[in-house]
Amino acid sequence: MGFKVVQVIDIPRAPIPDYGEMLKQAGVEVEFVKVHCTTEDEVIAAAHDADAIIGVATFQPFSRKVIERLTKCRLILSMGIGYDNLDLEAATGHNILVANVPDYCLEEVSDHAMALILTSTRKIVKLSRIVEEGGWKTEPDPEIQRSIWPTMSRLRGQTLGLVGFGRIPRTLVPKAKGFGMRVIAYDPYVQPSAFESLGVERVELDQLLAESDIISLHSALTAETKHMLDLEQLKKMKPTAYLINTARGALIDQRALHTALTAGYLAGAALDVTEPEPINPDDPLLKLDNVIITAHSAHFSIPAYLELTRRPGEEVARVLKGDWPIGLLNPQVKERYSQRWGQAG
């Protein structure tokens, strides 16, 4: 039996492996199609008769409208951790398995978060810019001593507050503790034992905002978490605190963040993600010298990229051969899926 596998890409010349060949080597005969899509109608036209779809569900619109037209689909595989634009409820209602690649960049994103923490607290960007612009006139330089040194802090003894306590923040915990930091976390959907096993104090969001010297965001983007840090919440932070975001830009109300930073409600922010992406060139955050922005790159390294591009083929092969995907996001669909497709796993 031959299957149709469609890969929906958002970058026309993205360096993606030939999953068709990978699947054949795994013993699955497929027709493999790779197509560039950015709209609902384009996804429907390309994938309406697909047995499995590989996509980037933070960019392509896997909406209810799209999912209702996927008459043969068994699996939608999100090539990455996020699935912001995928209607999981609709997919579950149509007996479609949804999976992601949840652990390919744990080290990279947690490393990047730690790097942003260090860059913010040690004023790396400001100090480098002063030297580049010829501002280091003497040693010691009185202007640097006056304007920069008083804002630099020691990490040991500081409190790191993690908003969200999934795989990435749990990977960050030992790195932060290696610098002598106290770590607290907020996540209402994680069992207390997960916090206890890593020596992390579980707290409510208000306590985290009030006590943290550095706050690092790691929540998934949902209707509940969109703009979870608005002006009211940002005002609860210490005026000496820093906000780090390597998760999703829309967790923060960016206008409110600009207001909070200019009003002195917090000391600075370091963002790998923004709303929208790329950030608008006239966004006022770009004019603030206490803001660091990196171009959504926390997830990347060569080892992570190789794993990310390998795993989708393995997951599709697993499903088309009759097993469950490892990164299954909607396990409640298993019984109905089995009734339709004769799933044995």
State the catalytic residues.
Answer: 248, 277, 296
The separation between CA 318 and the C-alpha centre of its own chain, rounded to angstroms, equals 25
How far, CA to CA in Å, does 280 sit from each of 24, 64, 148, 270? 43, 29, 29, 16
Q: Say if residues 8 and 46 touch (Cβ distance below 8 Å).
A: yes
Strand, coil or helix: what is 213? coil
Q: Distance (Å, rounded) from C-alpha 172 to C-alpha 164?
A: 12
The separation between CA 31 and the C-alpha centre of its own chain, rounded to angstroms, equals 31
Beta strands in the chain (DSSP E): 3-9, 30-36, 52-55, 75-78, 97-99, 159-163, 182-186, 201-202, 214-217, 242-245, 268-271, 291-293
Helices marked H in 185-253 — which ranges?
Answer: 192-197, 205-211, 231-234
Q: Residue 188, preceding bond cis, omega within 30 degrees?
A: no
Q: Distance (Å, rounded) from C-alpha 218 to C-alpha 81?
A: 12
The contacts found for 65-69 with CB under 8 angstroms, 24 or more apart, are 65/40, 66/40, 67/91, 67/94, 67/96, 68/94, 69/44
